[in-house]
Amino acid sequence: MMTFRAIQISRYASRSLFLSTHAVGSAFPHAKFRLSAVPGAVFHQGGSRSFASHAPKASEILSAVYRVRLRIAQWVWYGNLLFTKLKPILLSNSGASLIGLTLGTGSNLIYASYVNCKREQGLQSALALGSVPDVEGGRVLAERKEIKEALTTLLQPASDHSQYGMVIGSQGTGKTTLVRQVAHNHAGILYVNIQPSGVTEQEFAETVAKALHFFPRSRVWFNIVLSQLGIVTHDVEDKRKYLVQVFDEFTRQAKIYRQKTNRPPVLVLDNVNRLAAGNPGLLNILQDIAKDAADDGIFITVFVASEGQAPLQILGRSAQSRLGRVIVVKDLTKEEALRYLCHQHGKHRDIAEAVYDFTGGRIAYLKSALTQLNSGIPVLGIRQQFLDTGRDVFTKAKCMPDDEFKLVAIPLARKMLLAGAISREDFEEGAGSQTTAKRLLAVNIFTLSPYSELVVFDSKPIQLVAQEVVGNAAQRRRSWLWLW
């Protein structure tokens, strides 16, 4: 019986030992595989050559490694062959141009893809939580729980909501502050603050684009060249109006947001009274866009405006539109104003009541008075400053043509002091015409609340100055009658 003895075969320097000369890759000399290169290979002497029983998977490993090396060798061989064939062409002038064209196109394609990816991320972040700018840090805001709850409901509509809304109030009542404070704590809100210089269509579109983080898609250069040659490609230049491009993009983002959250996003347009004064036609277009978007359930628009022409224009067209809830932001009540001054800012009650008497709870006036109080200015000095500002308004109103101030404004002010407020019809009747009534409203002595259709004094300081003016006019009239 033949005995076997196992020996350890060391690595061999020879490249021909155990080579398969009839392998598929034998045409590639560098692809031959040396079995002795695998450490730990154990063979039996005196029998058929095989691996020892303690390494049953060694043959599979060797086979896998061999196949990988063979495939690499094949690719290298084909690469060398291709380079050999193309080398004369590549070294020519046309070949160098082809290489530059290929590298330039590839680089441009990669850059365009990167820019468009960042663009999409920026567009989606416009509706993220906290995208609406918050009020300045460190400010102590008045506690207005009821109005904040109403704004939260308006800015977080249900999935089936199909009406746009409006927030109105006199200047200085805190509309913008309240809207930003509530909107900052919720996602799905695009806040657009219309600037005084942004009332044209192009300027307004740029304001919306800035809030949306919108800019046109980056195009690959050869598509631009083909377009110039009249060849239609999938990547064509958008030649529509910029406002149409911006709102189409916002509509696309709104649909994506609705699919993710099952509720429509909200577009807040603040200070639309600037559009009503400078570009009323654009305000009509925006109202139509708001109606269509609400009908389709894509997004909800909320108009924020001061009392005056903008609410009148929107409400005047609301019969054929989908205007829903209207939130009126009023001055603070006396209790709210005293709580704000005493509890939140630590002012004595007597001082707080004196401040309320000439500010009337207008939050902007209360903040201004607090700033001056903290600077050491006495209450009487602050009151005098507010009244001087009101007298300036009346001085400008005295320049109205045809003695309208003397013949119309003073009698209407006298009537309003007695009644507290008069209806819009009575105001226009007392003014003599709608044109004169609009001029009186424009001088900021009177203001029309469009939702209640009542005309009141624009503010508490204006009311106090009106008492002086009416009193002085009555005194002069008595003096004239006595002399006569």
Q: Which distant-in-sequence residues (6+ apart) come within 8 Å of 160 by Cβ?
A: 297
pLDDT tens profile 113-126: 777 788 888 888 88
- What pLDDT was estimated at residue 326? 92
What is the number of structural domains in the chain? 4
* Same domain assignment for residues 172 and 307: yes
Going by pLDDT thresholds of 50, 70 and 90, the confidence category of residue 223 is low
Residue 358 and residue 322 share a domain: no
Query: What integer pLDDT is reported at residue 113 of this predicted model?
Result: 76
Across 120-141, average pLDDT: 80
Is the residue at 291 inside a domain?
A: yes
Q: Is the pLDDT of residue 455 over 90?
A: yes
SS (H, E, C) 353-414: HHHHHHHCCCHHHHHHHHHHHHCCCCHHHHHHHHHHHHHHHHHHHCCCHHHHHHHHHHHHHH
Per-residue CA distances from 397 to 119, 221, 441, 464 (Å):
51, 61, 10, 16
Whether the CB-CB separation of 309 and 277 falls below 8 Å is answered with yes
pLDDT at 42: 45
**pLDDT reading at 453 higher than 90:** no
pLDDT exceeds cutoff 70 at 322:
yes
Instruction: Say yes or no: 149 and 268 in one domain.
Output: yes
- Judge whether 102 lies within some domain: no
Is the CB of residue 59 less than 8 Å from the CB of residue 51?
yes
Section 44-58 average pLDDT: 50
- Are 85 and 9 in the same domain? yes
Do 287 and 370 sit in the same domain of this protein? no
Q: What is the mean pLDDT of residues 455-468?
A: 94
Q: Are residues 190 and 287 in the same domain?
A: yes
For 10-34, how does the pLDDT look when each residue is reduced to its tens digit (9 = 90+)? 444 444 444 444 444 444 444 444 4
Mean pLDDT of 199-221: 85
Domain boundary among 44, 71, 90: 90
Q: Is residue 121 part of a domain?
A: no
Residue 129 lies in a domain: no
Tell whether 192 and 318 lie within a shared domain.
Answer: yes
In this prediction, residue 216 has a pLDDT band, given cuts at 50, 70 and 90, of confident
Higher pLDDT, 388 or 83: 388
Q: Based on the domain organization, do 33 and 169 belong to the same domain?
A: no
The pLDDT score that the predictor gives to residue 26 is 45
Q: What is the pLDDT of residues 144-195, one digit of tens each?
A: 899 999 999 999 999 999 899 999 999 999 999 999 999 999 999 999 999 9
What percent of the chain clears pLDDT 90, i.e. is strictly above it?
46
Instruction: Work out the average pLDDT over 326-344.
Output: 93
Does residue 269 belong to any structural domain of this protein?
yes
Rounded Cα distance between 166 and 151, Å, is 10
How sure is the predictor about 321, in pLDDT bands with cuts at 50, 70 and 90? low
pLDDT in tens, 264-293: 999 999 999 999 988 999 999 999 999 999
168 and 316 share one domain: yes
Q: How buried is 276 (Cβ within 10 angstroms: 0-12 exposed, 13-18 middle, 19+ buried)?
A: buried
Is residue 132 assigned to a domain?
no
Query: How high does pLDDT run on average in the chain?
Result: 81
Domain of 187, CATH number, reads 3.40.50.300
Same domain for 19 and 70? yes
Q: Quick one: pLDDT at residue 474?
A: 80
- Residue 396's pLDDT band, with cuts at 50, 70 and 90, is confident
Q: 302 with 352, same domain? A: no
Please give the residue range of the domain that contains residue 366.
Answer: 331-377
Percent of the chain with pLDDT over 70: 76
pTM here?
Answer: 0.74
The pLDDT of residue 258 is 94
Residues 307 and 352 grouped into a single domain: no
- pLDDT of 316: 83
Instruction: With respect to residue 264, please indicate whether it lies within any of the assigned structural domains.
Output: yes
- 240 found inside a domain: yes
